[in-house]
Amino acid sequence: MTATFFHRLAAIIILAWLGVGLAACSNFVKGGDNRHNIPLAPAMVKALHDIGSSPGEGMVVRIFKKEAVLEVWKHTNSGQFKLFKTYNICAFSGDLGPKFREGDYQSPEGFYTITPGLMNPKSAYFLAFNTGFPNKFDRANGRSGSNLMVHGDCKSVGCYAMTDGGMAEIYALARESFKGGNSSFQVQIYPFRMTTANLAQFASNQHLAFWRNIKEGYDLFDLNKTPPAWDVCENRYIFNPVAAGPLDAAALCPPTVPDAQVAARKAADDKALADAGNAITRQAATEAAIKDRGAAVSGFFSGIGSVFTGGQQAPAPIVAATPAQ
């Protein structure tokens, strides 16, 4: 074998080694289809800078079922998060309310933490990230399900489906956030915008207790523009707990960081729900009284009729078999 052969072999080995090294620099470099690596459009980068942010800053995603929208919020140089862009949701399955079991066709609700391992660049539905359902809360409450995604292709069976164009932007924003050094981003999924008025409309709903629980996290973010830390105790969500470290999902909850504005909203919710409950009770009483009056009137006329028939049922008229002459 000649020296030239060895030189070529050495060059091939060096190139292969460099290829492995370069691949290890990025968790997002894959072979084949490169849609997951398409750069953010210059207009998107400029829009980020206009709000005091950049592609590598942290992000938060909020999803609202009833309004069918997905919001992307970005961390800014003010220290708070600002709404960057809102996307229409093409489709989600099921009704308002959380997911309970595999196969119930419900899209989940609650708080989820998305890490790079939940990103799916090879999704059959264009691009996707897994919500991480079931999370700690879901498992503590015996809920089951798998592969609950936010993805493209506008089709949903328990997922949140976006347009391919919208999903390409959302995926790229998440990718760049991870590349900027952020280990995760938070996804908050709600049945509707969690205002006091909207909550009062569902005062008799079976999911009210759960919705009031996640509304604590909604209010914290809405007021402070910073994603709240969340954990699970007493089989419910707890936000900004004082205790450090993971909590026992079934154990008693520790104290939380007090927030006067959130407490004021809770008091307003209590009053609105009490008023709504009283209105429901009054409406039910009115309908029952109308029904009772109707029954009494019917009974009265039935009694009048029995007077003229001697208390006996009036005989049925006789119909001749042949026409009368």
Sign of the dihedral defined by the CA atoms of residues 69, 75, 76, 79, in that order: positive
Nearest-CA neighbor of 83 among 70, 97, 67? 70
Identified catalytic residue from 36, 90, 159, 233: 159
Q: Is 314 left (phi over 0), alpha (psi -120 to 50) or beta?
A: beta
The answer to whether 159 is a known catalytic residue is: yes
25 is catalytic: no
Which candidate in 75, 90, 151, 233 is catalytic? 151
Helix (H, G, I), strand (E, B) or coil at 247: coil
What contacts 100, CB < 8 A, 6 or more positions away? 106, 143, 144
Whats the size of the chain, residue-wise?
Answer: 325
Contact 105, 157 (CB under 8 A): yes
Sign of CA dihedral 110, 95, 59, 52: negative
Query: Rounded distance, CA 55 to CA 65, Å?
Result: 27
- The answer for residues whose C-beta is within 8 angstroms of residue 103's C-beta and 6 or more apart is none
Spatial distance between the Cα atoms of 215 and 211, rounded to a whole number of angstroms: 6
SS3 assignment, position 149: strand
Question: What is the set of active-site residues?
Answer: 151, 159
